[in-house]
Structures are given as structure tokens and as C-alpha cells.
Amino acid sequence: MVTVGAVTIDGVQRKRANRLLLAARRSRARARLLSRLVLLGPPGAGKGTQAEVLERKFGICHLSTGEILRDVAAGNGLPQTSALKSALRYMRRGELVPDATILELVRERRDCLHAHQGFALDGFPRTLPQARALNRLLLQEGLTLDAALEFSLPMEQVIKRLSGRRICPNGHGVYHLKARPPKVDEQCDRCGAKLVRREDDRPEVVRARMNAYEKSTRPLIAFYKEQGLLITIKAQGKPNEVFTRTVNALKRNL
Ligand SMILES: [Zn+2]
């Protein structure tokens, strides 16, 4: 038995009190994290993976425009909103979904933008006009951006990562010959189908994608730097190592 002030508490109550104290400390630690984020970085830098862990560990809402568009294209969940319907029309015609529609898709995820623990935008903005449009949208929503995280990875490493990537043709996810190999060589763990390489991940295509990425995002990076929001994180190494660097940067830059 322990006496705290005028209240006597037993072991069970003490455990519970400790748990609450720990949770409160954790939530204060969370509150000290920059958490309204734009994620930048070349394909293969691991933005999506980092965003998923930020969501799992800190409740930061992961908003991936690429994922939304892939879901629409695959028919996962009926397109109910006007922006989703519009995106679907462009994709069916084999056209690029225009900026205005992408911006609407983001605006429609108000729950995510206003999430108490913050948001991580992944795949948007990609260009300077998109970044300006995002600033206007956030202003309208009464929100401000905390940071733009740039995950940097040298070209040769990007090629190495992407050329080892394989996907299940039946949509059971992404494998990597070295980093995340299937149990049986070149076969999907879930359905046994032979894994395939996306056309996009061929080395010559990766080079072209990297060049396009650098050309379109260089002004974007300068834009966030000017606003004092840019934080660059080295994306070499294992995902958990990159995650440690990310969390440290989000704390240090407060
Ligand atoms: Zn499969």
C-alpha cells in the first residue's frame, strides 16, 4: 500500500496510474513532433514506407494520392465523390489526372488534413504550381504546414532499389529480391503467381523517371527552403534506420 496525498492506492491502482502517466508522457512526446508534413523524394526513396510507420506509431494520417488513384483504377470502393468520378474518367481515357482534380481529391480528405495528430502528404505536391495550390488550400482550411521532408537518395541507389522490386500480378503487394524476398524464389507468398517487374522499374526507365523527378521537384525544394520548411533526410539504409533519422529530425526542428 502506498499513500499519495490523502489517497491510499494498492498495486493494481498504482499500475493503472503508471500506465496513464506513461500514456500522457507519450502523447506529450507526440505533441512535440512536427506533424503536418509534405513528403518529397525520388521513387524508391521509401516515402510511402516512412509515412506508413508515422501513421502506425504516431497516428499521423497518411494521405497518398497515388494510392487513392490506384484504388479508383482497381475499382476498390466505388467512386462516390465528384473528384473521384472525375479522376476515373481521365484514367479511363488514358489521360493524366489534372492538378485541379488531384487538389480536389486532397480537399475531400478533410478528415485526414484535420487529423488531430497531423498528416503526411505523399505523392502531392509534385510541382511548384501544385505546392502553391496546396498552400492556398491549407490557408482556406485554417491549417499550416510544419515541414517538407525531402528523402534524398543518390541515383545509383535508386536504380539498385527499384530494379530489384517485383510485384504480384494479382495485386498481393510489392516484394524486393534482396530487401523483402518472397518465401519461394520469384513467387508470390499468397497466391504462388510468378512475380513480375513493373515496366516503370526497368533501369533505363528509372533513369528517365529520376531526371523527370529532379526537373519538376527542384523548384519545389527551393520553394520550401525559402519558407524555412525544408528538412532533408538521408534515405540510405534500412527502413527502421531512416525512420529513426526522420523522428529525430521532426523533434529537433521544432
Ligand atoms: Zn499474389
- Quote the pLDDT of residue 4: 45
Give residue 73 CA to ligand 1 midpoint distance, Å.
Answer: 18
247 three-state secondary structure: helix
CA–CA distances in Å: residue 1 to residues 50, 79, 193, 226, 249: 45, 59, 61, 59, 43
- CATH fold of 36-252: Rossmann fold (3.40.50)
Express each pLDDT in 100-153 by its tens digit.
Answer: 999 999 999 999 999 999 999 999 998 899 999 999 999 999 999 999 999 999
What element of type H or E holds 165? strand 165-167
Amino acid (1-letter code) at residue 118: G
Give residue 186 CA to ligand 1 midpoint distance, Å.
Answer: 11
Express each pLDDT in 153-191 by its tens digit.
Answer: 998 899 888 889 999 999 888 899 988 899 999 999 999
Q: Are 14 and 20 a contacting pair, CB within 8 Å?
A: no
Q: Are 87 and 147 a contacting pair, CB within 8 Å?
A: no
pLDDT at 25 exceeding the cut of 50: yes
Radius of gyration of the chain (CA): 21
Cα distance between residue 20 and residue 133, in whole Å = 42
Give residue 170 CA to ligand 1 midpoint distance, Å.
Answer: 5
Q: Are 203 and 210 a contacting pair, CB within 8 Å?
A: no
- Quote the pLDDT of residue 12: 66
Express each pLDDT in 184-215 by its tens digit.
Answer: 999 999 999 999 998 888 888 888 988 888 88
Other CB atoms within 10 Å distance of the CB of residue 147: 21
Cα distance between residue 117 and residue 245, in whole Å = 19
Domain ranges of the chain: 36-252
Catalytic residues: 47, 126, 165, 198, 209
